[in-house]
Amino acid sequence: MPKLLIVEDDDALREQLEIGLTASGFEVCFAATGTAAIPAFEEHNPDLILLDLMLPGKTGIEICTEIRRTSGVPIIMLTARTDDSDMIRGLEAGADDYVTKPYKTDVLVSRIKARLRPIRAKTTEHPIIKIGPVEMDTLSHEVRKGDKKISLTPLEFKLLLTLASHPNEVFSREMLLEQVWEYTYKADTRLVNVHVQRLRSKIEDDPENPRLVLTVRGWGYKAGPE
């Protein structure tokens, strides 16, 4: 049974989440303040974190940044619709996805299941996929650039794998939302933009002048190298 850590200071919302997520087959544990989030994460070792942005003690952005220093655990932010700039900052800090309040339980559950689903390569004939000097091992999920090991979150790995498996094929942002995030409906394409920027910061020699993950203006992204 997947274990979820819910970091939320609203008592009523925590109770609502506990009822809905337990009924959907998840084990849940909680932290009611930002200060309690990291100790709860270390104690419970959750499979996924639902993280409110606005918290007493530490903000969700601070918590996300701290967790990302040591862990690639999936993180879904819970945010109000008016927190647009904070939402972008949360994604830049390392969150994989976000859900706006108020939200439907079935939508949240589908997002959680998508982030928990194992990453599988489309073929086992070539377990090593290369994109320029970067090598991806689709069996161990290890990524290397020369002698350097690159730490990617599961979602970043899936994004790079999707692009690298189809060199020079252009993926629209909507296609990537469907294939990487597994969205079945129209969603915020800024998710893709922010994650591409994060991915570039890890694999490119010069993220401002990328050669591995290229922007095709007016269309989307493709794998290089140029």
User: Based on the domain organization, do 60 and 103 belong to the same domain?
Assistant: yes
Per the domain annotation, does 122 fall within a domain? no
Which residue in this structure is represented by tokens 């091992």?
Answer: 137
Separation CA 73–CA 116 (nearest Å): 9
Check residue 125 and give its pLDDT.
61
- Alpha carbon of 89 to those of 11, 72, 115, 191: distances in Å? 25, 17, 20, 11
DSSP 8-class letter at 226: -
Domains in the chain, number: 2
DSSP 8-class letter at 123: -
Containing structural domain, residue 210? 128-223
Give the tokens for residue 164.
């690298």
pLDDT, one tens digit per residue, over 30-45 is: 999 999 999 999 999 9
> To which H or E segment does residue 154 belong?
helix 154-164
User: Based on the domain organization, do 167 and 66 belong to the same domain?
Assistant: no
Between the two ends of the chain, the Cα-to-Cα distance in Å is: 44
Instruction: Answer with the one of 94, 116, 138 that is the final residue of a domain.
Output: 116
Residue 123 pLDDT > 70: no
Per the domain annotation, does 198 fall within a domain? yes
Alpha carbon 70 to its chain centroid, in Å, reads 15
Q: Where are the alpha helices (DSSP H) in 180-223?
A: 190-203
Separation CA 2–CA 24 (nearest Å): 11
Per the domain annotation, does 186 fall within a domain? yes
Check residue 185 and give its pLDDT.
78
Check residue 83 and give its pLDDT.
66
Residue 118 pLDDT > 70: yes
Separation CA 77–CA 58 (nearest Å): 14
Separation CA 89–CA 114 (nearest Å): 22
Per the domain annotation, does 21 fall within a domain? yes
When the pLDDT of each residue in the chain is averaged and rounded to a whole number, the result is 90
Considering only residues 186 and 205, tell me which one the structure prediction assigns the higher pLDDT: 205
**Residue 62 one-letter amino acid:** E
Check residue 121 and give its pLDDT.
57
Per the domain annotation, does 151 fall within a domain? yes
Check residue 215 and give its pLDDT.
95
pTM reported for the whole predicted model: 0.90
> With bands split at pLDDT 50, 70 and 90, how would you rate the model's confidence at 24?
very high
Respond yes or no on whether the N-terminal peptide bond of residue 167 is cis (omega within 30° of 0): no
Considering only residues 46 and 139, tell me which one the structure prediction assigns the higher pLDDT: 46
Check residue 84 and give its pLDDT.
76
Per the domain annotation, does 121 fall within a domain? no
Question: For the chain, percent helix, then strand, then coil, each to nearest 5?
Answer: 40, 25, 40
Per the domain annotation, does 100 fall within a domain? yes
User: Based on the domain organization, do 153 and 109 belong to the same domain?
Assistant: no
> With bands split at pLDDT 50, 70 and 90, how would you rate the model's confidence at 65?
very high
> With bands split at pLDDT 50, 70 and 90, how would you rate the model's confidence at 102?
confident
User: Based on the domain organization, do 96 and 184 belong to the same domain?
Assistant: no
User: Based on the domain organization, do 102 and 14 belong to the same domain?
Assistant: yes
Cβ 173 vs Cβ 194: under 8 Å: no
The CATH number given to whatever domain includes residue 219 is: 1.10.10.10
Average pLDDT for 185-208: 92
Q: Please, what's the b/e burial string for 106-116 (b: 16 or more CB within 10 A of its CB; e: otherwise)?
A: eebbbbbebbe
Average pLDDT for 47-70: 93
Per the domain annotation, does 196 fall within a domain? yes
- Alpha carbon of 134 to those of 38, 127, 199: distances in Å? 32, 14, 12
Average pLDDT for 124-152: 88
Average pLDDT for 110-138: 82
Residue 79 pLDDT > 90: no
User: Based on the domain organization, do 142 and 41 belong to the same domain?
Assistant: no
Check residue 119 and give its pLDDT.
72
- Total Cβ atoms within 10 A of residue 133: 14
